[in-house]
Amino acid sequence: MISWMGGTVIVLPPPDKMYEALVDLITRGRELYKQNAEQVREYLKPPEWIERYKTKEQKVLEAKENELITQLQTIRDKANERFLATSALFATGRQLERAVKKIFSDFDWKVDDLTEKKGPIDYIIHGSKGASNGLLVALTGTDSYIDANHRKIAQLFGALAEAGDEQRLVFLVNALANEDPSSRTHQKCVTEPALKRMETHGICILLLPDLYTLWIDFLEKRKSSDQILQLLKETKGLFCCRPS
């Protein structure tokens, strides 16, 4: 690839069928020339005095164009924000962390992000009295299921001593992340022995599709963020808001 005359020249090895390749390049060149001619405003840099010579219609059209571009960018930004939260349904790793934090921020919760520390707790969600009566959230994502020997559960047990009397440990799991959430039953995502181990210690197990359902409920004003926080704080064992 060679930069030349404000563009880029791409040098390719000669093809087996030279004539057909040349015809294809000529055809493509004509298409690009036509596109450039039609989109000349995007490439030219006119002098400032050209504004005095524009027609009234032209000025009206350009003003309307700028207005629509602004509206489109606003819509695009909003759609991107919504998609970031939706991506939590299929994401793992860093993308899952970003998506979950977006959902938490939509709830307007005060959240301490501890993901960079790589410890057992990834997020601290503050309650009415601050962190002392909020949630301690451990997050994991996998294309498989969670069993009793999963490393994150062992880390979570190590954090039991860190939880205060008014705090709830929450194990947030995106299991079977590559499958349609409608097929992810709670029994398929977390084994019974794993559930029993965590329930015995008062841990709330929250599957990502259930968190997503809570997020939808919040957006559609069926539940407030305070109600959602309270529901999670009151749950020992598996939290369910979808059919099993």
Block means of pLDDT (10 residues each) for the chain, length 244 residues? 76 77 81 67 78 94 95 94 95 95 95 92 91 91 94 86 85 96 94 94 95 96 95 94 67
Residue-level pLDDT at 37: 58
The number of C-alpha atoms within 13 Å of 200 and in the hemisphere containing its C-beta is 9
Q: Could you tell me if 15 and 21 are in contact, meaning their C-beta atoms sit under 8 angstroms apart?
A: yes
pTM higher than 0.85 for the full model? Answer: no
Per-residue model confidence (pLDDT) at position 72: 95
Q: How far apart are CA 124 and CA 197, in angstroms?
A: 22
Give the separation between CA 77 and CA 46, rounded to whole angstroms.
30
* The predicted structure's pLDDT at residue 36: 67
Q: Is the dihedral of CA 210, 215, 218, 219 positive or negative?
A: negative
> At a CB cut-off of 8 Å and minimum separation 6, what does 128 contact?
none
pLDDT number for residue 143:
95
pLDDT at 13: 78
Calpha distance 176→104 (Å, rounded): 22
pLDDT value at position 27?
Answer: 84
What six digits make up the tokens of 49?
């005095």
Q: What is the pLDDT of residue 63?
A: 96
DSSP characters for the chain? -EEETTEEE---PPPSSHHHHHHHHHHHHHHHHHHHHHTHHHH----GGGGGG--HHHHHHHHHHHHHHHHHHHHHHHHHHHHHHHGGGT--HHHHHHHHHHHHHHTT--EEE-GGGTSS--EEEEETTEEEEEEEEEEEE-SS-B-TT-HHHHHHHHTGGG--TT-EEEEEEETTTTS-GGG--HHHHB-HHHHHHHHHTT-EEEEHHHHHHHHHHHHTTSS-HHHHHHHHHT--EEE--S--
Q: Which amino acid is it at 219?
A: L
What pLDDT does residue 21 have? 78
Supply the pLDDT for residue 19: 76
Return the sign of the alpha-carbon dihedral for residues 172, 178, 182, 183.
negative
The number of C-alpha atoms within 13 Å of 30 and in the hemisphere containing its C-beta is 5
Q: Which domains, and CATH codes, for the chain?
A: 88-239 (3.40.50)
pLDDT for 239: 95
